[in-house]
Amino acid sequence: MSTYGIPVLILKEGASRTYGREALRNNIMAAKALAEVLMSSLGPKGLDKMLVDSFGDITVTNDGATIVKEMEVQHPAAKLLVETAKAVDAEVGDGTTSAVVLAGALLSKAEALLDQNIHPTIIIEGFKKAAEKASEILEEVADSVSVDLETPEGIEKTRPILKELAYAALASKYIASPDVVEHFINVVIDAVTTVAEKRPEGGYLVRSDNIKIEKKKGSSLSETRLIKGIVLDKEVVHPGMPRRVEKAKIALLDAPLEIEKPDITAKINITSPDQIKKFLDEETRLLKEMVDKIVAVGANVVICQKGIDDVAQHFLAKKGILAVRRVKRSDMEKLERATGGRIVTSVRDLSENDLGYAELVEERRVGNDKMVFVEGCRNPKAVTILVRGANDMLLDDAERSLNDAINALRNVLREPKVLPGGGAPEIEVAMRLRKWAETVSGKEQLAVLAFADAVEEIAVILAKSAGMDPLETLMELRKAHASGNKYAGINVIEGKITEDMRKLRVVDPLSVKKQVIKAATEAATAILKVDDLIAASPLKKEEKEKKGKEEEEEKGLSKPELD
C-alpha cells in the first residue's frame, strides 16, 4: 500500500506469498512429512510401500529412490529432498532412504532450536561444522580392506569382503529365500570382478552401466544367471540365416544396410519400364557391394544399429551370416566393450581389425520370446545379468536389489574402506560429536549437539522397525560405545544388541555413509535458508494446453517421428 492509500501490485494476480518464520515452518513440516513416509522402510525389517500411479500401475518397494520418484511430490521443499535422494542414488547408488530420513531429523531438531529464538544462520553454520567433523570421525572409525582383482588368487581373497557387502545391500530387499540371496550375491560378485578396471590412483573403477540387467518373465529368481557377454532382446532378421555361429567374428555397424532416401525433395521422370528395372538393379548392386565388403573382411555375424533391407538380408543369408538389426546404442557400446570390436559408421571403412570376437552367438528362446546371446568373449568388459521371475513386480524388485548390490561393491572397490552396519557408526559419530561440541563456542554448540541427536535417529528407527524398545536400545548402544566398542550395533533380524556387527556380515561402504551425511546436511541447510515462499498462480487448463503446444513446437516434436 502506498502513502496515498493506492494499492501497488508487484506480483501477478493469483500469486501467493508466505514469508518469515511461517514460510520456514511450512517448509520444515513438508520435509518432515516426506521423511516420515520413508522412515518405516529403513533397514532389513523395513516395510514396503505400495505406489499406484495415474495409469493404475502398481509399484511395491522399500527402495527409497524408487519411492520418492514415484510419489509425484508437489511441495517445493519436499521436492528439494526428492532431488537430494536422486543425487545420492546417482553418486553412490545406495543410502537414499537414510539421506531423506536424516535430513528430516536435522530439520526436526532445527525447529526446536528456532523455538529458542536461535537464528537459522547460526544453525546452518553449526550443522556444516558438525557434518565436516562427522565425515572425519567416519574416516577414523572405518576399517581398510585389501582388494586385489588382478589374479584369480587375489579375487578369491577379496571375495569374502565383497560377499559381506552384497549381503548387507540385499538383506533389506524382498527376494524370496536365503538360497536366492546367496545366488544373487555370487552373480553380482562375478559380474563386478569381470568388468572392474584398475585405477592409476588406486582402487578399481566399476562402471555400473557395463553390467546390463535384462529381465524376462517366466521361471524363477533362482534361474537368474550371468552371461559373460551381451544378451540382445532381438531376434535374427531372416529365416534363412544360421541360428548359431561358433567362433563368431562380429561386425558392429552404426550404418544402415539399406539405400537411404535423400532428405531433399526430388522428382525423376521415367519414360520406359526399363528405367525402373535399372533403378532396382542399381539398388540391388549397391546392397550386394555392402554385403560383399562384410564377407571380404571375414565377418560371420552382423549387429546393426539401423535397419537392414530385405534384399541385403537375402544376400547375408546366402553367405551364411547371422544378422540382428535395430539394436540400441547403449547395447552397441556394451558389445564393443565385451567383444573387443569397434563400432563402424560406414561399411566402406570396415576392416578386419574392427571385428569383435565371441566363442558363440546364438538365438535362443527365453520364455515366450527369442533373444540373441553373444557369449564366450575373451576379456569381456561388459556383461549381462539375465533375471528370471514369476511376474513383473518381482522382476522390477530383483533389478533394484541387484543395482543396490552392484553399487555397494562398486563403492568399496573405488574406496576400500568399510564401516560396521546396524546403526554402529551413527552412535559412534553422535558420541564423538557431543565431546567435540564442548570445544565449539557460542550458540553453534547447540546446533552441533542437535546434529548429534539427529544422526542417532537412524539407529532409533532401526530399533523401532525390529520391534525393539527404542529408548532402551539407544541407552545400551551408548553404553557399549562409551566403553570403546565401536562395532556394537543392532541385530535387526533377532531384535537384540550385538557386540560386533562384522560377525553378522553386516558392513557398509564408507563412501555411502559420508555421502548420506553430506547430502542430508546440504538439503536441510538449503531449506533452513528459505524465509520467503512466492508461488505463482496455477495455470488454467487452456493456458496449460497452449504452453504444452508451444514447448512441443520448440522441441520440434509436433510432427510424429518415424522409427
Cβ proximity of 173 and 397 under 8 Å: yes
- Spatial neighbors of 411 by CB under 8 A, at least 6 apart, are 92, 93, 94, 509, 511, 512
Mean pLDDT by 10 residues, the chain (563 residues): 58 57 78 87 82 81 81 82 88 86 91 87 91 92 84 84 83 69 89 87 83 88 89 90 91 85 72 80 84 89 89 89 91 90 88 90 88 88 90 85 88 87 89 89 89 91 86 89 87 84 83 91 87 61 58 52 40
Amino acid letter for position 380:
P
Give per-residue pLDDT as tens, 110-129.
Answer: 888 888 888 888 999 999 99
CA–CA dist 73, 79 (Å, integer): 6
Rg value, the chain, Cα: 29
Q: Is 179 a catalytic residue?
A: no
Q: At what angle do helices 120-141 and 424-437 cross, to 10 degrees?
A: 120
Out of 63, 89, 331, 354, the active site residue is 63
CA–CA dist 437, 416 (Å, integer): 30
Residue 169 has φ and ψ, to the nearest 5°, of -70, -35
Amino acid letter for position 268:
I
> How high is the pLDDT of residue 430?
92
Residue 486 DSSP SS3: coil
Q: Is 63 a catalytic residue?
A: yes
CA–CA dist 383, 191 (Å, integer): 7
Q: Is 3 a catalytic residue?
A: no
Give per-residue pLDDT as tens, 260-305.
Answer: 766 677 777 777 888 778 878 888 888 888 888 888 998 999 999 9
Out of 89, 396, 404, 508, the active site residue is 404
Residue 257 DSSP SS3: strand
Out of 66, 97, 193, 224, the active site residue is 97
Ordered by where they begin, the domains of the chain are 16-143+419-534 (1.10.560.10), 153-228+381-415 (3.30.260.10), 230-379 (3.50.7.10)
Out of 59, 96, 193, 384, the active site residue is 96
Amino acid letter for position 313:
Q
- Edge-to-edge strand ranges of the sheet holding 211-217: 211-217, 383-389, 225-227
Neighbouring C-beta atoms of residue 184, cutoff 10 Å: 26
* Distances from the Cα of 383 to the Cα of 78, 161, 207, 294, 455, angstroms: 38, 22, 11, 26, 39
CA–CA dist 13, 30 (Å, integer): 25
Dihedral, CA atoms, 97, 98, 99, 105, nearest 10 degrees?
110
- DSSP β-bridge partners for residue 360: 246, 375
Q: Tell me the three cell numbers of residue 376.
A: 564366450
DSSP 495: T
Nearest Cα neighbor of 505 from 188, 73, 164, 262 is 164
